[in-house]
């Protein structure tokens, strides 16, 4: 599988753009946020543990996150063309773990990290707007600010790491959804 990573602040449009990428390139969407929300919804003990972090805008510990991600990767059909990692890796430790996981799987690699860049005032505006209908416990101003801080402190270093591997592309995340998608296509057309 030739995989890609979609990165950017919460609300930058990763989920929306993933749907278009799935349709055009036949990749499989794998969102750690969705996986975690499903686990929380199931009411399991693990779900309760996860909600103690997601509910306040903190990251779920790396070991829990990586275990969940690996389980989902293992359950994919053998003929999967590639995966869009959405919301993962979110820490440098997760990034290094992902790269060593890829090294252990001879048919797997990460091709590129696409960083969707959106200014912070626009991010806050979008998340508050989304909160009116998303029903997500973490789309309120206090938790949004916490998530943005976590993004700056813990997730931004992942960009520099992929840049150092020569697998980093930054795109402008402002504009219409089709405009942003066409910027992503410019990167992906070289890969698929
Ligand atoms: P957003 O990008 O809007 O913050 P996500 O749906 O990607 O939303 O994630 C929601 C929450 O799930 C995060 O705030 C975090 O608590 C948890 N989460 C998702 N992915 C990870 C990850 N890779 N590592 C740790 N926690 C994660």
The average pLDDT across 2-15 equals 96
Q: How far is the CA of 80 from the centre of ligand 1 (A)?
A: 24
- What is the reported pLDDT for 142? 95
pLDDT digits (tens, 9 = 90+) for 101-157: 999 998 999 999 999 999 999 999 999 999 999 999 999 999 999 999 999 999 999
How far, in Å, CA of 189 to CA of 192, rounded?
6
Distance, CA of 35 to chain centre: 11
Q: Which sign does the torsion angle of CA 76, 186, 32, 130 carry?
A: negative
156 is catalytic: no
Residue nearest to atom 12 of ligand 1 (CA): 33
Domains observed in the chain: 2-182 (3.40.50.300)
Mean pLDDT of the chain: 96
- What is the reported pLDDT for 56? 94
Q: How far is the CA of 126 from the centre of ligand 1 (A)?
A: 16
- Residue ranges of alpha helices (H) inside the chain are 14-25, 32-42, 45-54, 62-74, 92-104, 120-134, 141-150, 156-164, 177-188
């Amino acid at each position: 599988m030739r995989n890609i990573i979609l990165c950017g602040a919460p609300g930058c449009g990763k989920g929306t753009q993933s749907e278009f990428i799935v349709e055009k390139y036949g990749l499989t969407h794998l969102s750690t946020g969705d996986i975690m929300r499903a686990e929380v919804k199931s009411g399991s003990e693990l779900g309760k543990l996860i909600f103690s972090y997601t509910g306040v805008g903190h990251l779920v510990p790396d070991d829990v996150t990586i275990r969940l991600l690996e389980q989902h990767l293992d359950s994919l059909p053998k003929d999967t063309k590639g995966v869009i990692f959405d919301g993962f890796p979110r820490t440098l430790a997760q990034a290094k773990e992902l790269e060593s996981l890829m090294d252990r799987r001879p048919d797997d690699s990460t091709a590129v990290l696409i960083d969707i860049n959106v200014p912070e005032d626009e991010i806050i505006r979008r998340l508050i707007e989304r909160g009116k209908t998303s029903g997500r416990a973490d789309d309120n101003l206090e938790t949004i600010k916490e998530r943005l801080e976590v993004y700056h402190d813990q997730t931004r270093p992942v960009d520099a790491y992929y840049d150092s591997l020569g697998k980093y592309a930054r795109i402008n995340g402002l504009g219409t959804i089709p405009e942003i998608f066409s910027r992503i296509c410019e990167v992906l057309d070289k890969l698929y």
